[in-house]
């Protein structure tokens, strides 16, 4: 396994190219979107899990572990979430074939609930930072001004009551006539110099290197610290993130109750997404002349906000909107471009893949 890890880290670009090529080829598998697609979907799931494992190996490179950006013994949340997402489509296909269209939502609800629990755990573990790519990408940007409060190193007061050399030098020597203090101070300095000289040079270098590589202590904020430091904006940020995390589970539970053709799940999911996005825009907007400070986002978090806004396009391919409006537009476009050589063929193939993918909840859920 270690040899495979070294090979993946050494050939990052080749691994990424091979993964992209494999993912595109899986869409060309025969019977990909047919009723008996368990085999092709299983192949796609296996390739997806391998891709997630390779990404996890690259992200947990030893150099990053030394820098302190990745905890070597922490639970691999991104890998776990990626594996669950890849398995979810296979679970949907198997459940639909063996249990029917109606009962498959029970299995999907359990899968979505598992993802919600893992994401909530990651949200708490990361110090209430914004989840990037639904938690599949670690949010370890040092420039982010999130709800994480770090200790200020180098400005801590010296501990009192510890009778060390500093105490002897600063306290006992202050009195010029204190001969005992001078003697103890000289003896202490002699002991320190003797200890330094007795240590080998390589040992001192190792100790110094360990002190440099030791990551700064990070205090994980609690809900009370969030409320005290960020105030109402911090609480609203937490609510917005929790809504974003729980939205897929609420959506699939509503589909399970009302059916995929009902407008109730569609509108409820849209309302939750709008609330989450609006809250995030509100807490990150600065108020001129106000006392409350906006929550600043890092570059990666700003990209995540843009990605979440792009996810609204999925509502165009979710039923019942797709069946009533989008599909009609696609069929008209296909008829118009059908006489055009090459372009007509490519358009028909793209629309066929889109319609086939739309039949799968996991391709349009945005979770």
Which pLDDT tens digit goes with each residue over 93-115?
A: 889 888 988 899 999 999 999 99
Residues 255 and 268 in one domain: yes
Which stretch of 159-168, 290-299, 309-318, 346-355 has the lowest confidence by average pLDDT? 159-168
pLDDT value at position 148?
A: 42
Residues 295 and 223 in one domain: yes
| Share in percent of the chain as helix, strand, coil (round to 5) | 70, 0, 30
311 within a domain of the structure (yes/no): yes
Nearest to 136 by CA among 124, 122, 146, 117: 122
28 within a domain of the structure (yes/no): no
- Give every CB contact of residue 360 below 8 A, 6+ residues apart in sequence: 33, 89, 92, 93
φ, ψ of residue 218 in degrees (nearest 5): -115, 125
The whole-angstrom distance between residue 292's C-alpha and the CA centroid of its chain comes to: 27
140 within a domain of the structure (yes/no): yes
147 within a domain of the structure (yes/no): yes
pLDDT value at position 284?
A: 84
Which stretch of 50-54, 75-79, 199-203, 230-234 has the lowest confidence by average pLDDT? 199-203
Quick one: tokens of 228? 């005290």
Residues 203 and 224 in one domain: no
148 within a domain of the structure (yes/no): yes
Residues 338 and 274 in one domain: yes
Mean pLDDT of the chain, nearest integer: 74
Higher pLDDT, 310 or 154: 310
What integer is the mean pLDDT of 283-298? 68
Residues 285 and 206 in one domain: no
Question: Domain range for residue 183?
Answer: 165-213
51 within a domain of the structure (yes/no): no
pLDDT value at position 213?
A: 52
Residues 206 and 227 in one domain: no
pLDDT at 314 over 90: yes
pLDDT value at position 172?
A: 39
Residues 208 and 226 in one domain: no
19 within a domain of the structure (yes/no): no
Residues 205 and 268 in one domain: no
Quick one: tokens of 104? 């498959």
Whether omega for the bond prior to residue 236 falls within 30 degrees of 0, making it cis, is: no
Residues 203 and 138 in one domain: no
Higher pLDDT, 4 or 84: 84
Higher pLDDT, 139 or 217: 139
Residues 253 and 302 in one domain: yes
The predicted-structure confidence for 220-251, as pLDDT tens digits, reads as follows: 666 666 666 767 888 889 999 999 999 999 99
Residues 328 and 299 in one domain: yes
pLDDT value at position 219?
A: 61
Report the number of distinct structural domains present in the chain: 2
- Per-residue CA distances from 214 to 159, 204, 243, 278 (Å): 21, 15, 36, 40
Which stretch of 47-56, 159-168, 209-218 has the lowest confidence by average pLDDT? 159-168
Residues 112 and 248 in one domain: yes
Residues 232, 292 contacting (CB under 8 angstroms):
yes
331 within a domain of the structure (yes/no): yes
């Amino acid at each position: 396994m270690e040899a495979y890890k070294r090979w993946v880290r050494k050939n990052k670009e080749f691994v990424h190219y091979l993964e992209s090529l494999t993912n595109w080829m899986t869409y060309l598998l025969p019977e990909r979107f047919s009723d008996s697609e368990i085999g092709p979907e299983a192949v796609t799931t296996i390739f997806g899990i391998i891709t997630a494992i390779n990404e996890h190996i690259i992200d947990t490179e030893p150099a990053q572990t030394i820098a302190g950006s990745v905890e070597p013994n922490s639970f691999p949340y991104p890998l776990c979430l990626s594996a669950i997402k890849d398995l979810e489509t296979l679970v949907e296909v198997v459940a639909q074939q063996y249990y029917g269209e109606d009962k498959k939502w029970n299995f999907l609800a359990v899968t979505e609930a598992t993802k919600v629990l893992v994401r909530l755990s990651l949200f708490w573990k990361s110090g209430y930072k914004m989840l990037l790519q639904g938690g599949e990408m670690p949010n370890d940007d040092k420039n982010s001004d999130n709800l994480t409060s770090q200790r200020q190193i180098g400005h801590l007061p010296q501990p009192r009551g510890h009778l060390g050399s500093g105490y002897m030098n600063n306290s006992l020597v202050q009195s010029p006539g204190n001969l005992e203090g001078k003697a103890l101070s000289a003896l202490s300095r002699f002991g320190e110099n003797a200890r330094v000289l007795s240590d080998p040079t390589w040992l001192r270098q190792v100790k110094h290197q360990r002190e440099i590589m030791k990551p700064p202590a990070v205090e994980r904020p609690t809900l009370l610290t969030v409320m005290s430091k960020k105030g109402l904006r911090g609480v609203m940020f937490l609510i917005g993130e929790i809504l974003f995390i729980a939205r897929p589970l609420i959506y699939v539970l509503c589909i399970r109750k009302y059916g995929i053709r009902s407008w109730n799940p569609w509108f409820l999911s849209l309302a939750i997404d709008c609330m989450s996005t609006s809250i995030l825009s509100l807490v990150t907007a600065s108020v001129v002349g106000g006392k409350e400070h906006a929550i600043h986002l890092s570059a990666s978090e700003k990209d995540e906000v843009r990605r979440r806004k792009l996810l609204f396009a999925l509502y165009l391919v979710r039923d019942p909107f797709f069946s009533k409006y989008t599909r009609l537009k696609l069929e008209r476009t296909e008829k118009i471009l059908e006489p055009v050589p090459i372009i007509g063929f490519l358009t028909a193939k793209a629309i066929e893949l889109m319609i086939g993918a739309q039949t799968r909840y996991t391709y349009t859920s945005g979770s």
